[in-house]
Amino acid sequence: MRHLLITAPFPTHLVDKIRAVSPNLHIEQRTLPNGRWPEEWTTEAEIYYALSGVPPLANAPNLQWVQTHYAGVDSLKDSELWQSDVLITTSSGVHAVNMAQYALTQILVWSNRVPNWFKYKQTKQWGDNRWDTFVPQELRDKTLGILGYGSIGRELARLAKPFGCKILVTKRDARQLTDTGYSALGSGDVEGNLPDRIYPSEATRSMLAECDFVVITLPLTERTHYLFDEELFKAMKPSAFLVNVGRGAIIKETDLVRALKKGWLAGAGLDVYEEEPLPEDSPLWALENVILTPHISGFTPHYDDRATDIFVENLRRYLAGEPLLNLVDRGEGY
């Protein structure tokens, strides 16, 4: 029997879906107190589906593979597990549908000047010049730049293309176009055919100069920490709008505030921040050209179902000795 430990609070029907992969599975479910692995806990599990906390390796001597419930692995980088040979896979792709929809919503809200709809409704007057106040931008023939062409970026490209947008993307390896990770059926851009142009990460500045909208979907690594600083903001069009659904620390917020105040870009839509929740004294709260949300772009009622689908496929592959989806590259940090 292969021992599998699950600490995600999956309901019975999802556990049964996992159990159906093989009759040789012994499945154990536990709930981590406060999301942490207690020092006194041990497990004989070979496979661990982790909601949050991971065990010291001495407490899990048989551990061979950890599947995380989330897409990011930032919290694991200081762990003993990260330095080991234990396989780590993620739930990357689980958010793609809803996060791409969120990013497109930010773009549509900005381009249609939706904040003015609510502002003038409160005044009970439309103002003197409806054209100046409400005329929208059309997305047709606008250029959308996507930083990071993973599952979220690919789904965003699929959604934006019918609007007539020109799609530019940055990709760490611009030669590898095929998506080898998980994607929900009918979503994304598996073959990498949708972008009009693909830039290597080193050419980000050049790409930004062409974009009317820029969406960050990157993971947080040593390479992407504070990637967006004053230099890149100055490279953007003054009329451009920036959306961040990646990680807050990809943007240097002090530089972003300066850029928004000085008009180096027109506005920003932020769902993630350097410090969360966003502090009450953050100057971002007071800027009219910023749309803020409390890290909710990843929310979806289908999360556990999609995460289970990813794990079921990976479990099948693991037991068959096949390559796993979403295998973490420790060198790259994701």
Instruction: Please report where in the chains the tokens 């079921």 appear, as a residue.
Output: 312
Whether 30 contacts 5, CB under 8 Å: yes
Write down the catalytic residue from 3, 258, 295, 317. 295
Instruction: Please report where in the chains the tokens 């929208």 appear, as a residue.
Output: 136
Write down the catalytic residue from 95, 158, 247, 306. 247
Return the amino acid letter for 42. T
Alpha carbons 5 and 319: distance in angstroms, whole number = 15
Whether 37 contacts 55, CB under 8 Å: yes
* Bridge partners of residue 67, in order along the sequence: 49, 89
276 among known catalytic residues: yes
295 among known catalytic residues: yes
* Bridge partners of residue 213, in order along the sequence: 144, 241
Alpha carbons 25 and 4: distance in angstroms, whole number = 7
Close Cβ partners of 240 (under 8 Å, ≥ 6 residues apart): 208, 211, 212, 213, 214, 265, 266
Write down the catalytic residue from 276, 316, 322, 332. 276
* Bridge partners of residue 325, in order along the sequence: none
Alpha carbons 208 and 306: distance in angstroms, whole number = 33
210 among known catalytic residues: no
Active site residues: 247, 276, 295
